[in-house]
Amino acid sequence: MKYSAQYFIEHLKLAEHPEGGYYISSFRASDDIAVRDVQRPIYTSIYFLLRSQDISHLHRLQSDELWYYHAGSPLTVHMIFPDGTYEAKKLGLNIEAGEVPQLAVPKHTIFGSSVEESETFSLVGCMVAPGFDFEDFELFTQEELLVDYPQHKEVIYKMAYKTIE
């Protein structure tokens, strides 16, 4: 059986994500840990689906995020590290082509993702440790990012929300 994005959206009961794409919380640790003077679960995990026509817009978390490939086409994760360097890594199963089945995005890294093949999708899992909370989620506009990272204007124009005029 060939699976579609709609199949996973319906069967996993995925909802639209504020950064783009679709998601649902799949696991949440029952134990908490103190982080930045607040309690967070030790880890949280989601299913995340991105279609070719979607963009996971550039954002930043205060925790590390581990990504795991599940189905569909490869997913490109675009990262601007705190030191200003940029790297794009492909999440997928074609190891010979440089894809990896899992990758880590370190905390404080600005990142987003895209599916480069047309008319397809990518289904991945994302685990955040310490656990995710929208209080720790920052979403950026092009204007905000271009101030600090003008050398990455091409990826910023592609991956960040347009500045509202």
19 in any annotated domain = no
84 in any annotated domain = yes
43 in any annotated domain = yes
Query: What is the C-alpha to C-alpha distance for residues 48 and 121, in angstroms, rounded to an integer?
Result: 10
pLDDT of residue 157: 95
135 in any annotated domain = yes
Predicted confidence (pLDDT) per residue in 78-117, tens digit: 999 999 999 999 999 999 999 999 999 999 999 999 999 9
pLDDT of residue 142: 96
Mean pLDDT taken over the chain: 95
Q: Please determine, for residue 6, whether its predicted confidence score (pLDDT) is greater than 90.
A: yes
Give me the residues paired with residue 124 across strands: 48, 69
60 in any annotated domain = yes
- pTM of the predicted model, to two decimals? 0.93
Query: What is the C-alpha to C-alpha distance for residues 87 and 25, in angstroms, rounded to an integer?
Result: 27
18 in any annotated domain = no
Range of the domain at 123: 5-9+25-159
Distances (CA, A) of 4 to 95, 119, 121, 155: 23, 10, 8, 28
Q: Which residue is associated with the tokens 């639209």?
A: 16
Structure tokens at 29: 């640790």
Q: 3-state DSSP helix/strand/coil percent for the chain, to nearest 5?
A: 20, 45, 35
Predicted confidence (pLDDT) per residue in 15-49, tens digit: 999 899 999 999 999 999 998 888 999 999 999 99
15 in any annotated domain = no
Contact 86, 79 (CB under 8 A): yes
Q: Work out how many domains the chain is built from and give that number.
A: 1
164 in any annotated domain = no
Q: Residue 141 maps to which CATH number? A: 2.60.120.10
